[in-house]
Amino acid sequence: MPINSTASVILASASPRRQELLRSVGLKFKIIPAHVNENYLAGESTRQHVKRLSIDKAMVIAKKYPEAWVLGADTIVVIDGLILGKPKNEAQARKMLQKLSGREHKVFTGFTIAHVAAKIFKTKVIQSAVRFKTISPREMDWYVSCDEPYDKAGGYAVQGKGAYFIQSIRGSHTNVIGLPLCEVLEALKIFKTISFR
């Protein structure tokens, strides 16, 4: 049974992971990706960065559709103060996995819910900590030779083959995938955008 949506919801993202997460709980929504500059600003912290980008993404679409509830989000993987983006090739994927191997890293997602006509705006940053097992050279070869690492921040997918490397997650599991479902749905429920009746 789908969640009862009392208003139009737009996901301002092309991310298949975010779409899958929202569909998995039965939420009905439209997809209108927002295209914004994702470069870091000077002096910007990790939290400030994901928060700003989620706001930018939500507002680009919300201004075009003022009567809709718009959800924008941005996720990054951080270790030793270094942001791990999406690896462009096998060498980059291997370097990222070597950095993550046997250690803990953090995943931050900023999400923003905006409704221009109602003048409602909420933004939040969720943090999770992920610990990897020590990855052997053979395991590294296996993983970088598959398609999975190359469109994922940090070069791995917690919901795919990359799950093999994960010893533990502290905090939201879905946050590591790309959207903290519990917090997002709670916010939509507070705004009476969705109900479970």
Which residues are marked as active site?
A: 74
Contacts of 111 (CB under 8 A, 6+ apart): 54, 71, 72, 73, 123, 124, 126, 179, 180, 183, 184
How far is residue 93's CA from residue 174's CA, in Å, rounded to a whole number? 22
Vertex 32, ends 4 and 118: CA angle to 5°? 60
Q: What is the C-alpha to C-alpha distance for residues 126 and 120, in angstroms, rounded to an integer?
A: 20
Q: How far, in Å, CA of 22 to CA of 14, rounded? A: 13
**Cβ(132)–Cβ(158) below 8 Å:** no
Contact 33, 64 (CB under 8 A): no
Task: Please tell me the distance from the alpha carbon of residue 44 to that of residue 123, in angstroms, as a whole number.
Answer: 17
